[in-house]
Structure 1
Amino acid sequence: MALKAAEIRAFPALVSAYRKTDEKGLYLEIRPNGAKRWFFKYRVLGSEKRLTLGDWPEVSLVQARELRDEARRAVREGGDPLHERKREKTMARLAAGNSFQSVAEDFIEVKFVGGQKAAATIEKARWYLSHLTGPIGGRPVSEIEPAELMVVLKKIEKAGKRETAVRTRAFASRVFRHGVAMSLCKSDPAALLGDALMSPIVTHRAAILDPRKLGALLRAIDDYGGRESVKIAMQLLPHVFVRPGELRLAKWQEIDWDEKIWRIPAERTKLRRPHSVPLSVQSLALFNELRRHTGWMDWMFPGERSHFKPMCENAINTAFRRMGFDRETVTAHGFRATASTLLNESGKWHPDAIERALAHGHSNAVRGAYARGQHWDERVQMAQWWSDYLEEHKEGAPVVPLVVKKGRR
């Protein structure tokens, strides 16, 4: 006897589950907790199966009968509704595993984390991914079209972030190529979009190249009234001109006091190879002064709130802003450009010695392999000359010409 909509609500919950039959294999199961669920019972190749159609009242009697009729048609045509539902769920799980987000995460894990890239490089990759996660992150990587990726990139571009748009496209392209290599997609739609984006406006990090202005900046740093470790970090950067991240993550165990060398481990350098910095008298004095404040800690430059964490990556630039220097005038990274320009203009040092001091790579692999072991003695002399140069300009005195015997080239 067919069920009636009015009587379904009145079916009571009993100690055990029981069924109320409708028609053509449809029935309602009432469970001890009061839940009521629709099922369709059918047979395929002699085996009895049942297909869940949903819970009442979300699925009404009328809707349950419509779902039953669809399933009956599938059975008549030789199909198996339960098998088809399981297949759809499996495909959905596979699609989720092959989403752009999951492929990108795997790419970052394999190429960046597994490749032992610097923490900042990994963080930057995840930042590019963050621009893509919302719009296409959940989409199967094999189904993403160039047009939908272009919508995302153009939105970034219209926000005035041309370089971010270009680099995000390049990151997406690497993810798609990773997907192709893993047989998860057949092409790279991002490769077609390179010429469709505006070229970035080239800007250089602010750097002071006038020796007189450099001297004024050094005097201003000496007068800084903020946290002592931040002040010493600002004082050290011009002398050692390492990347700001290499400085703020420095640990005391890296200083060789006897050899007067700061050895930066490979995992913290951009090129993933160790970098040794010869320390001038002035640099050693600053490290010794810093040791009075943080020498008992692991980090040379601990965080303001916890000495178990390093100094914030924006601490130095924030200090410059508090001193009144805007980002178009001074940045922490700019001291590298300052040193590179003025050391080269001095004409006293081999260009390769300067490049090695800056921890730059060589486009020529043979030249790079040769230069790696060269110029150390020259770099030691150059480090001291540079510190003297900085001190003399800070004091406002002229630099006395110095004849230096250069190392082997």
Structure 2
Amino acid sequence: MALTDTVIRNTKPTAKPIKLTDSGGLVLLVQPNAARWWRLRYRFAGKEKMLSLGTYPNVSLKDARLLRDQAKSQLAKNIDPSLARQEAKLTKTMAFTNSFEAVARQWWTDWRGTKSPSYAECLLRRLEVDIFPVIGSRPVTEITAPLLLMAIKKIEARGALDIAKRAFQTCGQVMRYAIAHGLAERNPAAEVRPSDVLKPAKKTNYARLNAKELPELLRKIDAYDGQPLTRLAMQLMALTFVRTGELIGAQWSEFEMDAKVWRIPAERMKMRTPHIVPLSKQSIAVLEQIYKFSGGKTLLFPSERGYGKPMSNNTILYALYRMGYHSRMTGHGFRGIASTILHEQGYPHDHIELQLAHQERNAVSASYNHALYLKQRTEMMQAWADYLTAMKASEESSNGNS
């Protein structure tokens, strides 16, 4: 006789399991602890087998019969329901193991070895915030261009165009890693370009003064009454025109005072290749002053809050604000001024661009190119420092005569 919900509910557990039989081999085992287990008895390849279908009432009588019928359909096709379930479970497990998130984390672990910890953590955080919630659970074999673009467009929608582009490129690296390790056969990121789907970002022109305003700025920097290390940081930036991040993260181990060079390692450079900054006599003098204030510890410009961190990115910017240059000058502006004036003075474009570390170089040429034209660049950097000194002297002289 077929089971009913009333019969099931009214059957009380006893000291031994009770077997309630339905049609088609479906049974419900009522255990002494009151647990009720659905089981399906069937034969496959001449052997009697048992398949678990869950517990009652989580799996209702109706649902249990549907599962029984599905198993019977598999048997009719000469498929063992128990084996089919194991294969489905294994496939699901493999899909999770080879999910985009799992593969991306494997890639990140291998990739981060040559990167700075802060940069590596920032990239992983971007994946966790922007990419994994959208496509992280998908197997890499199921990642398509539309899926990938859906994640990227979500980033673009909040106005973060540069982050969207970088996230797209990172996803492409993950998919290449998957292909290289036999986890996928195609890279959907290679089928489209960011420019095909993302709005063009407006080029940012950093605020900077013109050459005529430079002498007054240099004089104000020398007279800056804030923190001495902030004043010295601005002086060194004017002389070396490195990026703000490269300046504030400078470590004493990077400086070869006898050779008069500052060797910035690749992991601290925007282009991820090493960079040499020839040190003028004026730069050496500033470094000697910095040494007195920073104590010659690891960082040239340690944060006032301590914790072994460098000064904030905004320290120089806020100092310029205090001197009256709000919206007129930034730390990056020193690079633009130097580039303009050096070009006007006739220095070769290649020499200037190398000193600005603008060229993106591949791994093979990086070890050579960062030292290219070093003699000429050394002469150029000393001439630049002499030019700044002359400008300040001229300004001071004109002020004295007025």
Bin of the TM-score, shorter chain as denominator length: 0.7 to 0.9
Distance 2:321 2:82 in 1: 66
Is the alpha carbon distance of 1:368 and 1:308 closer, same or farther for their aligned partners in structure 2, counting shifts above 3 Å? closer
Q: Is the 8 A contact 2:216 2:395 kept in 1?
A: no
* Larger displacement relative to structure 2 (72-81 or 163-172): 163-172
Structure 2 matches for 1:180-191, cutoff 5 A? 180-191=179-190
Distance 2:368 2:135 in 1: 46
Q: Is the 8 A contact 1:13 1:31 kept in 2?
A: yes
- Whose helix proportion is higher, 1 or 2? 2
* Larger displacement relative to structure 2 (176-185 or 244-253): 176-185
Q: How far is the alpha carbon of 1:377 from its aligned partner? A: 4.1
Distance 2:368 2:77 in 1: 75
- The question of 1:27 aligning with 2:25 is answered no
Q: How far is the alpha carbon of 1:80 from its aligned partner? A: 1.8
**Which residue of structure 2 lines up, in the alignment, with residue 80 of structure 1?**
80
Structure 2 matches for 1:280-295, cutoff 5 A? 280-295=280-295
Q: Is the 8 A contact 2:303 2:311 kept in 1?
A: yes
Distance 1:295 1:177 in 2: 47
Structure 2 stretches lacking a partner, 5+ long: 398-402
* Larger displacement relative to structure 2 (311-320 or 47-56): 311-320
Distance 2:314 2:47 in 1: 68
Which amino acid is 1:343 matched to?
L
Q: Is the 8 A contact 1:41 1:50 kept in 2?
A: yes
Distance 1:367 1:43 in 2: 68
Q: How far is the alpha carbon of 1:206 from its aligned partner? A: 0.9
Which amino acid is 1:308 matched to?
G
Distance 2:10 2:222 in 1: 84
* Larger displacement relative to structure 2 (158-167 or 363-372): 363-372
Aligned residues: 393
Q: Is the 8 A contact 2:273 2:370 kept in 1?
A: no
**Which residue of structure 2 lines up, in the alignment, with residue 338 of structure 1?**
337
SS of structure 2 residue aligned to 1:26: strand
**Which residue of structure 2 lines up, in the alignment, with residue 406 of structure 1?**
none
Distance 2:199 2:131 in 1: 20
- The question of 1:263 aligning with 2:273 is answered no
Q: Is the 8 A contact 2:100 2:135 kept in 1?
A: yes
**Which residue of structure 1 lines up, in the alignment, with residue 381 of structure 2?**
383
SS of structure 2 residue aligned to 1:55: strand
Distance 1:91 1:381 in 2: 65
Q: Is the 8 A contact 1:166 1:199 kept in 2?
A: no
Per-residue CA deviations over 1:228-283 (Å, capped at 9, x if unaligned) read 44443333212122233322222222223333332323443345554332323332
Q: How far is the alpha carbon of 1:85 from its aligned partner? A: 1.5
Distance 2:306 2:50 in 1: 60
Q: Is the 8 A contact 1:166 1:197 kept in 2?
A: no
Is the alpha carbon distance of 1:51 and 1:301 closer, same or farther for their aligned partners in structure 2, counting shifts above 3 Å? farther
Distance 1:11 1:281 in 2: 96
Per-residue CA deviations over 1:146-171 (Å, capped at 9, x if unaligned) read 33434444444454444544444444
Which amino acid is 1:354 matched to?
I
SS of structure 1 residue aligned to 2:142: coil
Distance 2:200 2:170 in 1: 16
SS of structure 2 residue aligned to 1:259: coil
TM-score relative to the length of structure 2: 0.78
Per-residue CA deviations over 1:56-82 (Å, capped at 9, x if unaligned) read 332233323332333233234322222
Structure 1 stretches lacking a partner, 5+ long: 400-409
- The question of 1:245 aligning with 2:245 is answered yes
Structure 2 matches for 1:321-336, cutoff 5 A? 325-326=325-326, 329-336=328-335
% identical aligned pairs: 38
Distance 2:63 2:342 in 1: 81
SS of structure 1 residue aligned to 2:378: helix
- The question of 1:308 aligning with 2:308 is answered yes
**Which residue of structure 2 lines up, in the alignment, with residue 402 of structure 1?**
none
Distance 2:57 2:374 in 1: 81
Distance 1:330 1:218 in 2: 12
